[in-house]
């Protein structure tokens, strides 16, 4: 496959909110449903970042124990300049993430950056940063991100500085601008 555009590949469990995240970040209009699988193949979109640079953004089908999309992962993971892993702010959900990394990390190129996008913070916080509950919320965010990084990301990645961990909330519209900047490395 010949690549001429930098590529951001979105992965995560089925129902985790990849489609919702892509729709909010890029206004793609993808079908979404947390109870059923919406895509069984990759969905690629050419987008222009705020800095004017064109990107290829690829949404891979959701990972689930009863599906086998290895061919899609083997095709797209080696080409990712940025791998955007969407997960939830809940430790109990990390097991499937760990299994995916165990089986697929070898397909990810050494140059690839990882953006671990940890969503659903609004389900864990009574107030997001900037609200009256900020001090308690900020501490919970730090602990949750630490749990997510330890539960999902191979330690070799974190020690190599290839990882950016970004909390966000689709429902509250919180921190989406930072997630967008981290994906496209804007302002660096």
CB atoms within 10 A of CB 187: 8
Is residue 31, in this structure, part of any structural domain at all? Answer: yes
CATH of the domain at 45: 3.40.50.300
CB 82 within 8 A of CB 183: yes
Q: Is residue 175 part of a domain?
A: yes
23 is a domain residue: yes
What are the Cα distances from residue 181, in Å, to 6, 31, 51, 186? Answer: 15, 24, 10, 5
In a domain, 11, yes or no: yes
Residue 2 lies in a domain: no
Asked if residue 1 is part of any domain, the answer here is no
Band of the pLDDT at 105, cuts 50, 70, 90?
confident
- Domain containing 41 equals 7-184
From residue 101, alpha-carbon distances to 18, 42, 139, 145, 185 in Å are 17, 19, 27, 18, 23
What's this model's pTM, rounded to 2 decimal places?
0.80
* Residue 40 maps to a domain: yes
In a domain, 78, yes or no: yes
Residues 31-55 pLDDT 10s: 776 656 666 678 899 988 877 889 9
pLDDT in tens, 122-164: 555 555 454 444 445 556 666 666 666 666 666 656 555 677 8
Three-state DSSP class for residue 151: helix
For the record, the structure tokens of 73 come out as 């992962």
């Amino acid at each position: 496959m010949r690549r001429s555009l930098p590529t951001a590949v979105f992965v995560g469990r089925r129902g985790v909110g990849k489609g919702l995240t892509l729709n909010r970040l890029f206004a793609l209009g993808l079908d979404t449903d947390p109870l059923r699988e919406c895509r069984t193949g990759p969905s690629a979109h050419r987008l222009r970042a705020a800095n004017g640079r064109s990107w290829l953004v690829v949404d891979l089908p959701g990972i689930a124990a009863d599906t086998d999309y290895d061919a899609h992962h083997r095709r797209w993971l080696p080409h990712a300049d940025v791998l955007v892993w969407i997960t939830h702010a809940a430790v109990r959900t990390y097991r499937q993430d760990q299994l995916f990394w165990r089986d697929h990390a070898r397909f990810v190129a050494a140059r690839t950056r990882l953006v671990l996008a940890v969503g659903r913070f609004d389900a864990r916080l009574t107030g997001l940063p900037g609200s009256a509950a900020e001090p308690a919320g900020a501490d919970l965010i730090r602990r949750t991100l630490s749990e997510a990084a330890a539960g999902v990301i191979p330690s070799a990645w974190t020690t190599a500085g290839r990882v950016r961990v970004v909390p966000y909330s689709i429902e509250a519209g919180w921190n989406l601008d930072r997630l967008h900047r981290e994906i496209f490395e804007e302002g660096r």
